[in-house]
Amino acid sequence: MEQLSGLLRQLRQQLEQDFPSAAGMRQITLPIPDRLAAMLLEWLAAQTQFPQFYWRHRDTQQEAAVCGAVRQFSHPLQAQAFLHAYPCARLWGLNAFDDSALLLLPRVEILSRSGKGQLTLNLFSESSLHEDAVTAGRWLDELRVAKPIAALQVKVQSVLHQPERPAWDAMLHDALKAIENQQLDKVVLARSTLLTLANPLFAPALMAASCKVNHLCYHFMMRFDAHSAFLGSSPERLYLREGQHLLTEALAGTVASHTDERQARALAQWLLQDAKNRQENLLVVDDICQRLQGGASAVDVLPPEVVRLRRVQHLRRQIEGQLNRGDDADCLQRLQPTAAVAGLPRQAARDFIRQHEPFSRHWYAGSAGYLSIAQSEFCVALRSTQIDGAQMQLYAGAGIVSGSDPAEEWQEIENKVAGLRTLLQPEGGF
């Protein structure tokens, strides 16, 4: 691609500057051709350097592809300390359900907003910027042009749920008993589904397929190497921080969607009026408001609305407030995990999950996005999957409150996981 050749030539010219043999950070930022801005996922999929992170906002106006890592951080506090030292930086990645993280200062970040894009090359060294500029030049030599992503061709050989249905019913029985005994108000229980495939799955192909059909979702993908990735298409924002203004939401309460417009609207109306789902949503709202106490003022809760997705519909209330300080580590500590993915009280729910779920959530139900001094945004890492070669681990959960029915909650999980599962082969195929 001619446009990429010209871009690389400009970057190499910039790298010929006389960088000091001292610690520091520099950024080289250039506009990119419109054609490249329209093919960010295809460009990222063609690269052979890792880690890679892809992000597309649910409003579709913002998209990012980042490649390589100049620095990595395993906790938000480390990342935030770096940003205070180098306020020009932007970090991308994942925060796990268990409080760990993988946040990257990428070698290259390509960011597109409303179809117009720019590329940023990050240089950083704790000893010699000159040496890192030389390293970056060699790194650029390995970049490849974007090419179309082949359509998914997947054959599922076996399916294993954790837990299977009888164990699910028993787990929910224990949860309802804990709720009845007032040990919990709510707990969100999840299921992991291991698919064994005939051939290794190319993660960008699944991401591309999901982007085409799972609208109103954040799309995210972390490729750790050529064979391992965590990706998902989530409807839920954890938070958006612009300066000290915070926007978050309670997304809890679910009903099936429908291809027929009239039936979909009827289901949405039922969701708005159903006592169990309204209670589940209000529990999340109350928890978020309580958690923001001492960290934010002028907190306002907007009226409920229904978010209609391809397979399910959700009850959502948006919440905004003014933070006392623009502190992302504090925001993450207060808001993650929300009651929509863990439960209430938070610690009791997390203890119940740890004792009863037969798998580790790790990245699932954590968050994915970016942070910087000026602005940060993370979505909740839902409707997600871990890919390792020819194995694919799908995750989905359901909020359990008083009155929950195990059969209905199992079906809710089936509906949620179908957002990715049905991309592999026709419904009913497994």
Q: Which residues belong to the active site?
A: 186, 236
H or E element: which one contains 228? strand 228-234
Residue matched to tokens 């992170």: 53
Q: Is 261 exposed, middle or buried (0-12, 13-18, 19+ CB in 10 A)?
A: exposed
Q: How far apart are CA 134 and CA 306, in angstroms?
A: 52
Q: Is 21 exposed, middle or buried (0-12, 13-18, 19+ CB in 10 A)?
A: exposed
Q: Determine whether the annotation assigns residue 412 to a binding site.
A: yes
Q: How far apart are CA 309 and CA 418, in angstroms?
A: 11
Q: How far apart are CA 379 and CA 338, in angstroms?
A: 12
Q: Determine whether the annotation assigns residue 280 to a binding site.
A: yes
Q: Is 30 exposed, middle or buried (0-12, 13-18, 19+ CB in 10 A)?
A: middle
| Residues with Cβ within 8 Å of residue 351, at least 6 apart in sequence | none
Closest C-alpha among 408, 272, 281, 413 to residue 344: 281
Q: How far apart are CA 135 and CA 107, in angstroms?
A: 10
Question: Binding site residues for Mg(2+), as ranges?
Answer: 280, 412
Binding residues: 280, 412
